[in-house]
Each structure stands twice: as structure tokens, then as C-alpha cells.
Amino acid sequence: MKFIDEATINIYAGDGGNGIATFRREKYEPMGGPNGGDGGRGGSIYFEADENVNTLIDFRYVKNYRAQRGENGKSSECYGAGGSDLILKVPVGTLITERQTGQIFADFNQHGIKMLVAKGGKGGLGNVHFKSSTNRAPRQFTEGEPGQEFELYLELKVLADVGLLGMPNAGKSSLIRQVSAAKPKIADYPFTTLQPNLGVVKVYDQKSFVMADVPGLIEGASDGHGLGHQFLRHLSRTKILLHLVDIAPYDEKLDPVDEVKKIINELKKYDEVLFKKPRWLILNKIDLVDDIDQIKDRIIKELKWDAPIFTISAINGKGCKDLIRKIMKHIDAL
């Protein structure tokens, strides 16, 4: 299924039904009193988070959603039937805002959350409500109220504890494949990952966390270059970021220190909050180099890196178990 993580839609709650002006007409009561009933309420529109829904693709192809209108009132003081409510299912992690104002309507960060977003209109009043001692044959009635309508922006931010950052081909997909049951595509060329991947990392019998792999960043990502900037929103809910660095790049002209600086710069330009999240440096592909300690010391010195730093091989798993244990310990301490 194609991964769609944003959509703009229009929703229209149902209008209320109109009240009605009628009078009793019975065999021995030719001058019967008013008996017009009220209109039914319009249907409302709810959104519900469902863990079985993984993408917003349905909202990409259907833009308009309408709840049912309430029925008009009837004679004999019968009320019109209320319109059926419309319930729209969205993936867990969906944020809904009003398109024009940016007002947040709902943040569906847990399965089963259900929220009213557009309320149906009230039904109008029948003429039975207008009778009085001075107005015994009222012909007044009111029309139903219109339902609420909004243009909404739906944005999916995947729920993960750990997010992976790095240039294309840094080994993010290989790492998530190594430590979890997720099977993202991996290859020896850049831009293998074209959409976010989630993996559940089981550390102990009762301990686990969720890791998210997003497409790699490139220089100029914050200005719209490449693919990674489109998915950085998915890292906004994470507790910690792992910045993967390829210390055995496929191109000898590439410098690991320079690559780290570029990512840090793009992250800061994109979102200051994301930039300030805890971020660990992960030096990957140690199986392809001999002078690991020398490279590590150089990176720490030139970057003035004072956060945790690890060396791993995502392909053969070396160093990965120690890394995930330290991550679990960090998450538990929060």
C-alpha cells in the first residue's frame, strides 16, 4: 500500500431538519390545535484512531465528507429522525488542524481515541411550541440550524521512541532490520528508503521500544531538496535520535565529519525543537575499517561531541546489543 502521511479534506456535518406547522384534523375536532413536530438533528462527524489503519491514503482520493441531514418534523407532534453520524478512521499518530487558522482539533496519539470534530445542526421547532392563550393557531415554525463545516489538514506523525537520522546509505535500514523484525529494503546505493519504516525492538522479555527509520537527509533538505525533509515530522514524537554516520563511505571524497555537520545544520534549520532532542552519534560500518579508534577520536575532537557515541556494524550486528540496552535504559529513566 502506498504510504500517504498528509491530506487536506472538507467535512460537512448534517443540517438540522426543519420544524413544521400543522393542525389536528379529526372527525369531531375540525378546529384542532397545532401539532407540528420538530425537525431531527443533523449527523455529526467524528474521527477515531485505529491501529489497523496505517496511512491516510483514503483521504487523498476522497476529499469531501458529509454527515446525514436531519429529517423535517411531521404532524401529530412527531419529530423528524436525526441524521446518522459519520465516523472517520485515522491512523494512530494523526494530528488534525483547521486548514486556514492552524487550530489543532485533535491529536490521536492512542488507539481508540474518538473525538467530535464537526457538530450537526439542531432541528427546527414545530408550531406546537408557539401556541399560547393569545395565539391558539400559530403558524410559526423554525428551520433547522446548519451543521458545522471545516477544511481540515490531516498530518500523520508516526509514534516511535527512537528515530534514526543520517545521510542516504548510512545504514539506518540495516540497523532497524538487525535489531527488529522489520524488513525495510536495503541496498548498496543511496535513497533505498522512500517511506518511514517502524520496527519494534525487543530488549528483554517485558521490555521493548519502537524505532523509526525515515528517508535519508541531504544538504539542502530544509529547503526541499531530497526526500528526508518530507518525513522529519515523524521524528517529532521520539524520545531520542540516533544519528548514524557511515565511516566507510562509498565515495572516498566524502568525509564523515562533514556529513555529520551537514545533518546537524539541516536539522537545526528545519525545527529547533527537534534539534534540541537528545541525539546520540552512531558510527556504522566498523566491519569495513581498521582504525576505528582513530576515526572516533577525530570525530569527537572536530565536532566537540559531548553526547554518547557508539560504534557498530549494522550488517553483522556487532555493537548493536549494547546499543539497544543503553537506549532502553535511557527511555526507562525518562
> Given this model, what pLDDT does residue 273 score?
84
> Given this model, what pLDDT does residue 82 score?
95
> Given this model, what pLDDT does residue 262 score?
85
Q: How confident is the model at residue 278 (pLDDT cuts 50, 70, 90)?
A: very high
* Residues 189-209, mean pLDDT to the nearest whole number: 74
Q: Cβ(137)–Cβ(81) under 8 Å?
A: no
> Given this model, what pLDDT does residue 28 score?
72
Closest CA to 15 of 41, 34, 37, 38: 41
Closest CA to 82 of 117, 44, 126, 111: 44
Question: How large a percentage of the chain has pLDDT more than 90?
Answer: 49
> Given this model, what pLDDT does residue 1 score?
38
Q: Is the pLDDT of residue 270 over 60?
A: yes
Closest CA to 202 of 328, 330, 52: 328
The residue that leads in pLDDT, 232 or 86, is: 86
d(CA 274, CA 214): 14
Q: Cβ(265)–Cβ(39) under 8 Å?
A: no
> Given this model, what pLDDT does residue 154 score?
94
pTM: 0.75
Full strand arrangement of the beta sheet holding 94-98 = 64-66, 6-12, 149-156, 94-98, 104-108
> Given this model, what pLDDT does residue 192 score?
46
115-134, pLDDT tens digit by residue?
Answer: 999 999 999 999 999 998 88
Q: Is the pLDDT of residue 219 over 60?
A: no
What does the mean pLDDT of the chain come to? 86
Q: Is the pLDDT of residue 314 over 60?
A: yes
> Given this model, what pLDDT does residue 320 score?
94
> Given this model, what pLDDT does residue 260 score?
87
Q: How confident is the model at residue 27 (pLDDT cuts 50, 70, 90)?
A: confident
Q: Is the pLDDT of residue 243 over 90?
A: yes
Number of C-beta neighbours around residue 51 at 10 A: 12
> Given this model, what pLDDT does residue 162 score?
93
> Given this model, what pLDDT does residue 6 score?
86
Q: How confident is the model at residue 195 (pLDDT cuts 50, 70, 90)?
A: low
Assigned C-alpha cell, 175: 540497523
Domain architecture of the chain: domains with CATH: 1-156 (2.70.210.12), 162-333 (3.40.50.300)
3-state SS track over the chain: CCCCCEEEEEEECCCCCCCCCCECCECCECCCCECCCCCCCCCCEEEEECCCCCCCHHHHHCCEEECCCCCCCECCCECCCCCCCEEEEECCCEEEEECCCCCEEEEECCCCCEEEEECCCCCCCCHHHHCCCCCCCCCCCCCCCCCCEEEEEEEECCCCCEEEECCCCCCHHHHHHHHCCCCCCCCCCCCCCCCCEEEEEEEECCEEEEEEECCCCCCCHHHCCCCHHHHHHHHCCCCEEEEEEECCCCCCCCCHHHHHHHHHHHHHHHCHHHHCCCEEEEEECHHHCCCHHHHHHHHHHHHCCCCCEEECCCCCCCCHHHHHHHHHHHHHHC
76-125, pLDDT tens digit by residue?
Answer: 889 999 999 999 999 998 999 999 898 999 999 899 999 999 999 999 99
154-185, pLDDT tens digit by residue?
Answer: 998 878 899 888 887 788 888 988 998 766 55
> Where does residue 40 fall: left (phi above 0), alpha (psi -120 to 50 degrees), or beta otherwise?
beta
